[in-house]
């Protein structure tokens, strides 16, 4: 699963993103159904930072890794990040499991001056759900044909 998070402040005051924590809710056997991909998105004009999340790990973490921005390699950079309403940050997460079906969400820890807190990032109030796809039929969506094509 590729998840892209755009973080920005509500005002021009700086907000520091101190960490992103991975919280697992449930873990079970991989699902026995087809896998579908909508393809890759296009750029946003903001250089992204990339993180790898291995949901098979006992305590999954968001590990900074080198990413890409078009044809350029973006070096891995760990937290903290500074954002404001006029200075967003894009965080790309490569979330994967080779063996399980995992329900999970992220908690973004932030601070600004003497204030701090966390923001939960999930699927509209429900945890995200990621399942291993190895050995499953896979399909990609081709927009120019408006159809699903077997990989």
Count of the separate structural domains present in the chain:
1
What gap in Å lies between CA 134 and CA 59, rounded to an integer?
22
Band of pLDDT at residue 90, cut at 50, 70 and 90: very high
Higher pLDDT, residue 40 or 1:
1
Query: Taking 80 as the threshold, does the pLDDT of residue 79 lie above it?
Result: yes
What is the span of the domain harbouring residue 144? Answer: 2-150
Q: Is the dihedral of CA 23, 27, 30, 35 positive or negative?
A: negative
Pairing of β 35-37 and β 138-142: parallel
Q: 3-12, 40-49, 58-67 — which one is most confidently predicted on average?
A: 58-67
Distances (CA, A) of 122 to 119, 137, 144: 10, 27, 31
| Reported pTM | 0.85
Instruction: Please provide the distance, in angstroms rounded to a whole number, between the alpha carbons at the two ends of the chain.
Output: 16
């Amino acid at each position: 699963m590729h998840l892209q998070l755009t973080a920005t402040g509500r005002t021009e005051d700086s907000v520091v993103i101190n960490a992103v924590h991975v919280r697992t809710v449930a873990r079970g056997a991989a699902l026995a159904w087809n896998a579908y991909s909508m393809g890759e998105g296009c750029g946003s004009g903001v250089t992204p930072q990339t993180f790898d999340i291995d949901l098979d790990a006992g305590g999954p973490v968001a590990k900074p890794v080198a990413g890409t921005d078009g044809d350029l390699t973006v070096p891995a950079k760990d937290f903290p990040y500074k954002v404001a309403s006029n200075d967003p940050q894009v965080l790309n997460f490569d979330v994967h499991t080779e063996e399980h079906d995992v329900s999970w969400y992220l908690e973004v820890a932030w601070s600004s001056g003497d204030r701090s807190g966390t923001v939960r990032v999930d699927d509209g109030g429900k945890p995200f759900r990621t399942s291993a796809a190895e050995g499953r039929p896979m399909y990609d969506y081709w927009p120019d044909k408006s159809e699903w094509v077997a990989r």
